[in-house]
Amino acid sequence: MKGNFAKTLISGVALAVGVGLATVAIPAQAATLRMAWSQDATGLDPHKQTAFSSIRLLELIYEPLVRLDSNLQIVPGVAESWQFSPDGKQLTFKLNAKAKFQNGAAVTSADVKASFQRILDQATGAVARANFLSIASIDTPDANTVVFNLSQPDVPLLTAMTSLNAAVVPASEITAGSIGTKAIGSGPFKLDSWVPNSKEVLSANKDWAGGATGVDGINISVLPDETAILASLRTGQIDFALLNDPLVATLVPKEPKLQLTRTPILSYNVLQLNPSRKPMDQLAVRQAISCAIDRKDVMDTAALGEGKVTGPLTMPLYATDPSKLFCYTRDVAKAKKLMADAGFANGFSATVIAATGEPPTATAEAQVIQSQLAEIGIKLDIKVMELNVYVDTWLKGNFDMAVALNGGSADPYSMYNRYWTKTGNLQKVANYIDDTLDSLMQKDRAETDPAKRKEIFAEFEKHLAEVSPWIWLYTAYGYTAEQKNVEGFVPTPTGSLFGLSKVSIK
Average pLDDT over every residue of 237-246: 96
The CA-based angle 145-150-152, given to 5 degrees, is 150
Closest CA to 190 of 214, 166, 174, 207: 207
- What per-residue confidence (pLDDT) applies to 20? 31
Is the pLDDT at 111 greater than 60? The verdict is yes
For the chain, the 3-state helix, strand and coil shares in percent, each to the nearest 5, are 35, 25, 40
Average pLDDT over every residue of 128-133: 95
Residue 341 has φ and ψ, to the nearest 5°, of -60, -30
Closest CA to 420 of 275, 257, 310: 275
- What per-residue confidence (pLDDT) applies to 436? 97
Q: Give the mean pLDDT of the chain.
A: 93
d(C-alpha 115, C-alpha 390), whole Å: 27
Q: Helices H, strands E: what count in the chain?
A: 16, 19
The predicted-structure confidence for 16-75, as pLDDT tens digits, reads as follows 333 333 333 344 446 999 999 999 999 999 999 999 999 999 999 999 999 999 999 999
The predicted-structure confidence for 273-329, as pLDDT tens digits, reads as follows 999 999 999 999 999 999 999 999 999 999 999 999 999 999 999 999 999 999 999
- Residue 464's H or E segment, with its range, is helix 450-467
- What per-residue confidence (pLDDT) applies to 30? 65
The predicted-structure confidence for 180-213, as pLDDT tens digits, reads as follows 999 999 999 999 999 999 999 999 999 999 999 9
β partners of residue 173: none
CA distances from 476 to 49, 266, 315, 465 (A): 21, 8, 13, 20
- What per-residue confidence (pLDDT) applies to 309? 98
Q: pTM of the predicted model, to two decimals?
A: 0.87
Which pLDDT band holds residue 4 (cuts at 50, 70, 90)?
very low
Average pLDDT over every residue of 259-263: 96
DSSP code of residue 132: G
d(C-alpha 432, C-alpha 273), whole Å: 10
Find the DSSP H helices in 239-385. Answer: 246-249, 283-292, 295-303, 332-341, 362-374
d(C-alpha 19, C-alpha 492), whole Å: 7
Amino acid at 84: F
The predicted-structure confidence for 324-378, as pLDDT tens digits, reads as follows 999 999 999 999 999 999 999 999 999 999 999 888 999 999 999 999 999 999 9
The predicted-structure confidence for 444-459, as pLDDT tens digits, reads as follows 998 989 999 999 999 9
Is the pLDDT at 9 greater than 60? The verdict is no
d(C-alpha 443, C-alpha 457), whole Å: 10
Q: What percent of the chain shows pLDDT beyond 90?
A: 91
- What per-residue confidence (pLDDT) applies to 8? 40
Average pLDDT over every residue of 81-109: 96
